[in-house]
Amino acid sequence: MGAEPVKRMRRAERREQILDAATRAFARSGFTATGLDDVATEAGLTRVMLYRHFESKADMYRAALDRACARLADQVGSDDFGDDSIPALLRAAAADPDAFRLLFQHAAREPEFRDLIDTLTAASAEVARRNLAQRIPDGPWLDWAARVIPAVTTEAVIGWLDAGQPDPDQAAERISRVVHGVIEAAHPPAAEGP
């Protein structure tokens, strides 16, 4: 029996198919440990077909990261943290756990792609700082909270994914309590009485 013929798709559809497969493959093992053969197998294509859409493995990885960032921004927003931010982040992570892990676990460890995560981290801290400035006095603890809250939130979501997405109706509230704990910790202690 011969190999099944590759289904004909429009170029944009094929690219999306490859990016879906690349996201899954890279999310399992990271950039360095994942070869193009792994992506080709995941996509059910040949390496030649991958090269018709991407110049290199690095180009494919960057495209997967860029797509994950764009989708996350579409689902969560990128300029304000409100009551729906954590539920929206959980929905985005649940809809595409591989893309979420790729962004927040793997890409952060890949020196070649660290710039993207550094930009995302800096932007998240700036948005957090702007939103927290109404609640926390200006100073080093505001800066601390603005850095810690995005990191704690993404780690909490990854932990939730890794735990099998328990209590999806209550997960946002639980993660919000962690965030509020950081906000509370950033406030100066109440003055002690005599």
Q: Name the domain count of the chain.
A: 1
pLDDT digits 0-9 by tens, 108-155? 888 889 888 899 899 999 999 999 999 999 999 999 999 999 999 999
| CATH code of residue 57 | 1.10.357.10
Please state the pTM of the whole predicted model.
0.85
- In a domain? residue 6: no
Tell me the residue range of the domain where 112 lies. 11-186
- In a domain? residue 192: no
- In a domain? residue 97: yes
- In a domain? residue 193: no
pLDDT digits 0-9 by tens, 37-88? 999 999 999 999 999 999 999 999 999 999 999 999 899 886 777 778 999 9
Contact criterion met (CB below 8 Å) for 42 and 64? no
Q: Residues 28-34: contacts with CB within 8 Å, 24+ apart? A: 30/106, 30/109, 30/110, 31/57, 31/58, 31/61, 31/106, 31/107, 31/110, 31/112, 31/113, 32/110
- In a domain? residue 128: yes
Query: Which residue in this structure is represented by tokens 């929905």?
Result: 91
- In a domain? residue 16: yes
